[in-house]
Amino acid sequence: MKKLSKSQTQNHGKFWPTVRQMIWEKAQQLFQDEQAKTMGTDFKGITATHKELRESGYFHTAKLIVLRNLYLQKKDPPSVKEETAPTSTKNSLRHFKNPLNKVKRQGR
């Protein structure tokens, strides 16, 4: 009989499994938004694999967005007036850097 490790026998937390699912959903949304923008009328609504989302940087960007939004919700719960106001993520995403655009260090 194979012995299970401590992490396999423990109950998993409630935060990270939920947040991880939110990140994957946001990454897929970002991918599809970009595909729809670049393909125009040819967009078929394709979905990317987890590997593709990670390699293309959508997972990283989605993680930053989701964690930032959760932090802001916890830090300052929105008032009724703020909840009804439309939010634009176009300008708020400007400071995120795509990890694929980093210059590769020499010697790697």
Token representation of residue 7: 């992490």
pTM of the model: 0.61
Token representation of residue 57: 């940087």
What pLDDT score does 29 carry?
A: 95
Radius of gyration, CA atoms only, the chain: 18
What is the average pLDDT value for the chain, to the nearest integer?
Answer: 77
Mean pLDDT to the nearest integer, 71-82 = 75
Token representation of residue 90: 């176009």
Higher pLDDT, 108 or 1: 1
